[in-house]
A and B are shown apart, each in its own frame.
Chain A
Amino acid sequence: MDLKNPVILKRLENVEKIIAIVSGKGGVGKTLIASTMALTIARIGFPSGLLDMDFTNSSCHIVLGVDVLRERPIEDMGVIPVKAHGVEFMSVAFYSHGEALPLRGIEVDNVFREILMITKWGRLKTLIIDTPPGFGDVILNIATYLPKVEFVAVTTPNILSLEALKRLARTYMREMILGVVVNMSYKPVCSSIEDMGFKVLAEIPRYNDLEEYIGDVDKLMRTEFAERVKEAALKVLG
């Protein structure tokens, strides 16, 4: 069965917006932003979903405080995502039990196809997708096979991270970028990002105590970080 299987489109037909959180470099905060954005959208009052597509090293469940050894998507002619803090949540971590999943290219394709074929999302305003860093298999599959997908690119002011954003801007995926979130900001870079032709959705300072809130959603959502992610989420919702 190929990646163009019509069932994938059928499973996503009740999803209004698909937003992939992407970055060329790792360590920029994609997972925390993706998870917080999905939680924010749910708290605003829209049905929200979160799909962790960082298959080899999934970690959204850690941010959400979901115990993947105890909770499981329910089997029902496919699987129904776990409801976590009002968010429909799906991750391969439920099946790898939170351990590393060493995969090569074709295997990444297989997991990509399988997880989309079996997951039965409800009617969602947005499905936020967390992705692995770089421009590899998962990003290409998302760009090629998911309908109406838009990207939110995450960068830090770090020169290497900005360079990765420039590179992304020179690929065919540029057209899919809805905007950029500047995370862990410590110097002004918004104008140079706007010079690249991108809208800045939010500029988030570096918060040294943020790690204390990972896994504790109520506390996380009361942080200034979450307020800044909300700014971006409102722009994403349009």
Chain B
Amino acid sequence: MNIMHEWALAEAIVEATHRLLSEREVKKITFLKVVIGSLQSADREVLRFALTELFKSKGIEVERLRLDEEEALLRCRSCLKIWRLTDLDLSDEVREAVHFIPEVIHTYAKCPNCNSQDLEIFSGRGVYIASMEL
């Protein structure tokens, strides 16, 4: 069985955090808030498990880990309309492509108001650290 790409996302978070903590000679995080943008549709439980395991493997203790979801919104640069990802009728194949590289949404999405493809991902792109307390 192939292991999910969420592990790569978790690894990026853990490696970046590890670098930061090493610089400060700290091994414990009291609170870590990670946001999952719905565009990347990362599996929350797999991500939580991968983060927990990878932090443990680095000898980093995370007292409280919170995973929040953020709705994906797109904005048209031409007419400024904002709309939800859920308003788009995307096939499973396209959703999977966006899961790996969120920016490929620019290939598949058009502004529902003016048909432009000059769009920006206004919110909910991918996985990122929103806050950390040491």
User: Which candidate, B24-32, B63-71, B82-90, B95-103, is the interface stretch facing chain A?
Assistant: B95-103
Taking a contact as CB atoms under 8 Å apart, the answer to whether A75 and B128 are in contact is: no
- Residues A107 and B103 in contact, CB atoms below 8 Å apart: yes
Over the window 59-83 of chain A, the binary record of Cβ atoms lying under 8 Å from chain B Cβ atoms (1 yes, 0 no) is 0000000000000001111110000
Of chain A, the residue at the smallest CB distance from B116 is A102
Are B2 and A96 closer than 8 Å at their CB atoms? Answer: no
For B3, the closest partner residue in chain A by CB is A77
Determine whether the beta carbon of A5 is less than 8 Å from that of B107: no
Q: Which of A92, A94, A95 has the most CB of B within 10 A?
A: A95
B-contact 0/1 string along A26-62, CB 8 Å cutoff = 0000000000000000000000000000010000000
Residues of A within 8 A of B103 (CB): 55, 101, 103, 107, 110-111, 114
Q: Residue B13 at the A interface, CB < 8 A?
A: yes
Instruction: For B126, list chain A residues within 8 Å (CB).
Output: 114
A74 CA to B97 CA, complexed, in Å = 12
Residues of B within 8 A of A (CB): 2-5, 7-9, 11-13, 15-16, 18-19, 97-98, 100-104, 106-107, 117-118, 120-121, 125-129
Kindly list 10 other residue pairs between chains A and B, CB separation below 8 angstroms, not including A7-B8, A95-B98: A1-B129, A2-B16, A76-B2, A92-B101, A102-B118, A110-B102, A111-B101, A114-B102, A114-B103, A118-B5
